[in-house]
A = this chain, B = another copy of it.
Amino acid sequence: MPARTSETKDRRTFTETARREQIVRAAVDTLAELGYSDTSLGKIARTAGLSSVGMISYYFSGKSELMSEVVSTVLTAAGEIVAPRVAAQETAVGRFRTYIEASLEHLADRRAEAVALIEITLGARDRERSDELEAGATEVVTDLVARAQAELDAARESTGEPAREPLDPHVVAVAVRGAINSAVGRSFRRRPGSEADPELAAEGAPIAELFVRGL
């Protein structure tokens, strides 16, 4: 074991990162095409063009780690696209609207990733981590909803409009996330495959409008 200056371990070989990426991509495509229950390491290896399942075992400690890697890869990519667009908005309503629109536009471009994520979330037996993730996402939306609500209420008060009975932001947030997932599912049913779906991207605006009107 050679002594290094700062790091004691060389972290990742070139081959290793490339292989891991290749396998994760194949896992995403397989999950999207076959669903969680019909996805096996053998099928993933086949999709990836690997001649042996042993390959996957070499680069991942097991199926569980591979699935975790898929989830974190997909979520990280989504966050990097959506978060800055949301943050760029100046009003709370704009941020809420943009979250929905940007999410659907992003998912329309990467439907396989989106479906793979849903499959893992609903299919994996180890639900603790999935639930944690879902809860985190819902919490973000809850915050966006609450702030948009406050902004709209203030605006209504200043123009003398009658106040509305406030809706529980958490309930609204769950509805929003359900609407997004449902739209993605329908898009995939309507047109299976990995190509982008412009119809899905176009649904962001009306869905956002629907919820903003309701706040």
Write the residues of chain A forming the contact surface with B, with a CB cutoff of 8 angstroms.
34-38, 118-119, 122-125, 127, 131, 134-135, 138, 164-165, 167-168, 171-172, 174-183, 185-186, 189, 203, 206-207, 209-214
The CA of A134 and the CA of B189, in the complex, are separated in Å by 10
With both chains docked as a complex, state the minimum distance between the C-beta of A87 and any C-beta of chain B, in angstroms: 25
Contact: B211 with A122, CB < 8 Å? no
Shortest CB-to-CB span from A41 to chain B, Å, is: 15
Q: Among B138, B182, B214, point to the contact of A214 (Cβ < 8 A).
A: B214
Q: A171-B183, A178-B179, A207-B171 are in contact. Are A131 and B214 (CB under 8 A)?
A: no
Min Cβ gap A167→B in Å is: 5
Task: Choose one: B122, B165, B183; the contact of A175 (CB below 8 Å).
Answer: B183
Secondary structure of the A contact surface, majority rule: helix
Please, how many angstroms separate the alpha-carbon atoms of A175 and B100 in the complex?
12
Give, as a whole number of angstroms, the nearest-CB distance from A81 to chain B: 21
| Residue from B36, B127, B135, B206 within 8 A of A123 (CB atoms) | B36
Residues of chain B within 8 A (CB-CB) of A203 are: 171
Q: With A180-B178, A181-B182, A183-B178 as given contacts, are A210 and B211 in contact (CB-CB < 8 Å)?
A: yes
Task: Tell me how far the C-beta of A31 lies from the nearest C-beta in chain B, rounded to whole angstroms.
Answer: 12
How far is B181's CA from A93's CA once the two chains are assembled, in angstroms?
25
**How far, in Å, is A146 (CB) from chain B's closest CB?**
14
A175 touches B167 (CB 8 A): no
- With a CB–CB cut-off of 8 A, which chain B residues contact A179? 174-176, 178-179, 182
